[in-house]
Chain A
Amino acid sequence: MKNFRTQNGGRNATALDRTNLISSQTFSEQANSPSLSFPARLNRWRRRNATLLLMALPAVLLLFVFAYLPMIGIVVAFKDYRAAKGIFDSDWIGFKNFEFLFGSGDALKIIFNTLFLNALFIVTMTIAALGIAILMNEIREHSKWLTNFYQSALLLPHFISYVIVSYFVFAFLNSDNGMVNHVITAAGGEPVSWYTSPQYWPTILTSVNLWKHAGFNSIIYLSGILAINPDYYEAARIDGANKWQQIKGITLPLLTPLVIITTLLAIGRIFYADFGLFFQVPRDNSLLYSTTDVIDTYVFRALRVTGDVGQAAAAGFFQAVVGFLLVLAANWAVRRVDKEKSLF
């Protein structure tokens, strides 16, 4: 890149002119390059790009190793994996792993749980985050100090690991000295054995998910509300619209595209469950699997606990491929709503 200086050094021009000169020169050089010999072109290319490539290299290599190599390794789903042979020397067995997976009945259960719970999360989260954002907006100018306090309090759970969250939930629900059962018995009710009763867990997991992430997700909607032209509200006020009418007539309709987009993007990831939530909060309790076991926890267990690498790989392959197609579909749908907001 230093060559720019020598090329332009002799010319008497202001900094801005020089900038323009450089870009136009770069352009014309690129256009002319076919006339240069190959080594000369290679040299010029290297001079311009070598340093930038070197800068990009460490992260590019890390991605290659930890993201791209496993993509090649996805063929393990079609192999009878033996650790001693490695991925590529293990024998091909076609769709056997998938036959086992889908034949066992586990597949349907974990796919249903993943889709059902994620759908539940998407609906409840949208309502909660939108609600918090609207409430925050109403008092935003009223009291800075309190607004900051609410925001901090609601954001804090987002930054705690699920191990700690699991401690919290245990403190509430354990049957010996949990707070919830204390309240129930104090009110004269029968204590519930939460950690052995799968029917309660969709509700529990949904609540924990809201508790942890609703404050964080509300920021997106709050910034959406802040982007609305205040003139609309001013005009509505002059026409005598009350707050509720303003929310119904201005805030919600103008936020709809944002809601649709976040929802579509969430649907694109509906095959991926939040491993921390589903593994830590029910404490990997097999009595609860009927309602808490999702694709990610199943894959983990098959890989690390039961040693069923083939089925783990098959479930992972299914998740990756269907997940990929869903992201593409979601993106296509987002493009139809708002071209600007689509991922690609």
Chain B
Amino acid sequence: MLKNVSLTLPQNYQHRATIGKILVHLLLLAFSIVALIPFVMLLAGSFSSENAIATKGYSLLPQDASFQAYQFILADPAQIFNSYFITITVTLGGGSGGLLVMSLLAYALSRKDFALHKLLAFYVFFTMLFNGGLVPWYILITQYLHLKDNILALILPTMVVPWFVLLLRTYFSGLPSELIEAAKIDGAGEWRIFFKVVVPLSTPALATVGLFLVLNYWNDWWLALLFIDDKKLVPLQYLLYTIQSNIDALSTDPNLVSGGPIPAITVRLAMAVLAIGPIIFAFLFAQKYFVRGVTLGGVKE
């Protein structure tokens, strides 16, 4: 612990500095524990017996350890598998589609010789300042586009995020323009330049935006709340929201569940664990990109 403290400093200063560092560590450790406790509680709860939670309440270790909740979920997994399938479809479709169309637009915006680059940059930017509000947006999607109970309603409305477009544009603008000019001289068309020169050089920015997109889609329940009534199209997070008040929604066959006693509390917790799991993996894998994404360039050129 002392190795970073200069040896020329007086002894008591050294002591104070070390005590100060230990205090900082303790504070941050306390914050980290506060941040993580709910996750631990959730995990412990999902492996507890229903009876233990109902009588003794939540705790940080599994009580009366049991796989009851997971067994219950796996006994009738049709709705859960279906929701997983919807969420994965939406996440992959929206994530890859969004990343493609946004980076194509961002590339065009980054090209100063593109006659419309200023106009279109403003076109993108203005949507961050002003919007029509929920009501006309909702009426448009349900009454005019007829996307109610359509999986596209879970993908298209949030596919282009203006902030991400401008972030990518800033990144692309920073690439050396000589590379693009050189590729042009070699006879490469715009598409070739984009896919063979720009994309390979922009993996950090594309990864950052891609991961944020994937998380947005994975965590989305809001679009389903507005546009999905059909049980076949319910994504995972919305299913979690529905079973808060109505645990029967877990099953595709209402008769099946209401027959026996449902371990309602622990099943909810187990469902939440199943929904968070993939995010935690993605997070641990990609944390450095998130950190970079926050600090990566602003809106202006």
Contacts and interface: CB of A to CB of B under 8 A. Distances in A.
Are A and B interaction partners?
Answer: yes
Contact of B298 (A74, A143, A341): A341
A87 interface: yes
Given A139-B24, A153-B36, A51 B221 contact: no
B256 interface: no
Nearest to A272: B131
B129 A159 contact: no
A59 B123 CA distance: 11
Contacts of B20: 138, 243
Contacts of B268: 167
B177 to A, nearest CB: 8
16 contacts: A26-B113, A55-B105, A63-B124, A66-B141, A70-B132, A81-B139, A152-B283, A153-B35, A154-B35, A163-B237, A164-B272, A177-B56, A223-B294, A296-B134, A320-B133, A344-B300
A2 B125 CA distance: 31
Given A1-B184, A150-B29, A171-B58, A303 B134 contact: yes
Contacts of A219: 291, 294-295
B213 to A, nearest CB: 13
A303 B138 contact: yes
Given A60-B105, A142-B4, A243-B20, A73 B25 contact: no
A153 B268 CA distance: 24
A110 interface: no
Interface of A: 1-2, 4-5, 8, 15-16, 18-19, 22-23, 26, 45, 48-49, 51-53, 55-56, 58-60, 62-63, 65-74, 76-77, 81, 83, 86-87, 132, 135-136, 138-139, 141-143, 146, 149-157, 159-164, 166-168, 170-172, 176-179, 181-182, 211, 215-216, 219-220, 223, 242-243, 275-276, 280, 283, 296, 299-300, 303-304, 309, 312-313, 316-317, 319-320, 323-324, 327-328, 340-344
Interface of B: 1, 4, 13, 16-17, 20-21, 24-25, 27-29, 31-36, 38-39, 41-42, 45, 53-59, 101-102, 104-105, 107-109, 111, 113-116, 120, 123-125, 127-141, 143-145, 156-157, 159-160, 162, 165, 177-178, 181-182, 184-185, 187, 189-191, 194, 215, 219-222, 226, 237-238, 240-241, 244, 265, 268-269, 272, 275-276, 279-280, 283-284, 287, 290-291, 294-295, 298-300
B36 A280 contact: no
Contact of B41 (A65, A166, A179, A312): A179
A17 to B, nearest CB: 11
Contacts of A179: 41, 57-59
Contact of B295 (A4, A69, A220, A323): A220
A176 B54 contact: yes
B129 A51 contact: no
B279 to A, nearest CB: 6
A63 B160 contact: yes
B124 A171 contact: no
A184 B132 CA distance: 47
A324 B129 contact: yes
A22 B28 contact: no
A49 B131 contact: no
B87 to A, nearest CB: 11
A260 to B, nearest CB: 16
Nearest to A139: B24
A149 B32 contact: yes
Contact of A8 (B127, B185, B220): B185
A312 B135 contact: yes
A163 B105 CA distance: 33
Contacts of B135: 73, 76-77, 299, 303, 309, 312-313, 316
Contacts of B130: 71, 320, 323-324
Contacts of B125: 343-344
Contacts of A316: 132-136
B182 A15 contact: yes
B181 A22 contact: yes
Contact of B132 (A26, A52, A74, A280): A74
Q: Which of B27, B138, B177, B279 has the most CB of A within 10 A?
A: B138
B138 A152 contact: no
Contacts of A2: 187, 189
Nearest to A76: B136
Please indicate which of the listed interface residues B107, B139, B141 has the most CB atoms of chain A within 10 Å of its own CB: B139
Given A73-B137, A81-B139, A154-B31, 6 more contacts: A56-B109, A63-B162, A154-B32, A177-B56, A320-B130, A342-B300
A53 B105 contact: no
Contacts of A45: 115
Nearest to A71: B132
A327 B299 CA distance: 15
Given A26-B113, A160-B279, A283-B244, A150 B31 contact: yes
A220 B162 CA distance: 20
Contacts of B28: 132, 135-136, 139, 146, 150
A48 B295 CA distance: 34
A73 B130 CA distance: 13
A76 B244 CA distance: 34
A309 B137 CA distance: 12
Contacts of A138: 20-21, 24
A340 B219 CA distance: 34
B120 A60 contact: yes
A231 to B, nearest CB: 16
B299 A211 contact: no
Contacts of B276: 160, 164
Nearest to A182: B57
Contacts of B291: 151, 155, 219
Given A152-B284, A153-B36, A160-B279, A48 B136 contact: no
B129 A171 contact: no
